[in-house]
Amino acid sequence: MTSTQNIIIRDALQEGSQRLIESESPWLDATLLLGCVTKQSREKIMASYPDSIELEVYSSYMSLIEKRAEGYPVAYLTGIKEFFGRDFHVTPGILCPRPDTEILIEEALKQVHDRAYKRVHDLCTGSGCIALTLKLENPDLQVSASDLSPVSEKVFELNRKNLENKDVKFTLSSLLEDIGPPLDLIVSNPPYLTSQETDERINRNWKEPSLALDGGEDGLDLIRIIIKDAPPLLNEGGMLMIEADPRQMDEMEQLMKKAGFENIKKICDLASHERVIMGNLK
């Protein structure tokens, strides 16, 4: 490859994706990384397979491929992750938005509409993808967000400005400690992996912070606190909606019932696994 001045895009993608054999989506990863280096969309790259790139571009691309092979998420390398049709900034220290979380958005928007909710709080907001998307999809909502992490605060502000989302207020808070009533809906994608699952990922060079993943021995440490602390902050008929692991849903249902929530419902993700649980107060 290095003997010629120009490299054919298809060959570069082939080489990159072979290097990323451990990724779940080697070709897509390679395409996004080449798009990042050449400042072109994924669609444009896909329409340009027979074209060529200069050696310098190829070298920058291959160094991103190496970083990806070391375990960095594509989004940390490109700085961008698409969520619900919009680009969100992400940096190391932040959980990259996942497509699974889009079902939480769809359900929250439906509930807000059906129950005429006005005030929504997104807890453990990370990049802000949930809070900012809800506000953009329904500008009449009053949305706030919080996270324990100062990195989240920075990235949230960046996304808030970029998406021209002026009125979404961020509070630096340990779970619901500094969050005040009255709220109609609390949504959250908290850390919910078990400590063992988190350790296994970190041993596989996973680069996302354990702060955003580790939910303790059974993954429910933070979720237990959220379920216990949410009711006093909610208005009559207010709702709690949490993303978690399918295996945690039954225990969460019990915890929510004990805390006074009713009409408990579980929503499946794209792989048909129960991923979001919700319930409302009387």
Do 189 and 222 touch, CB atoms closer than 8 A? no
- 115 or 201: whose CB is closer to ligand GLN? 201
Query: Which residues, in sequence order, are CB contacts of 139 under 8 Å at separation 6+?
Result: none
One of 9, 129, 179, 213 touching ligand GLN (CB under 6 A):
213
Dihedral over alpha carbons 228, 276, 107, 120 (to 10 degrees):
30
- 62 or 123: whose CB is closer to ligand GLN? 123
Q: Does the annotation flag 191 for ligand binding?
A: yes
Q: Does the annotation flag 189 for ligand binding?
A: yes
One of 19, 67, 86, 98 touching ligand GLN (CB under 6 A):
98
- 95 or 112: whose CB is closer to ligand GLN? 95
Can residue 192 be called a binding residue for ligand GLN (CB under 6 A)?
yes
CA neighbor of 12 nearest in space, from 73, 53, 71: 53
Q: Does the annotation flag 192 for ligand binding?
A: yes
Dihedral over alpha carbons 47, 52, 56, 60 (to 10 degrees):
30
Show the site string, 128-167: x = touches ligand GLN by CB under 6 A, - = not: ----------------------------------------
Show the site string, 171-190: x = touches ligand GLN by CB under 6 A, - = not: ------------------xx
Give me the residues that bind ligand GLN (CB under 6 A), please: 95, 98, 100, 189-193, 213
Q: Which residues contribute to the annotated binding site? A: 147, 189-192
Specify binding-site residues for substrate.
189-192
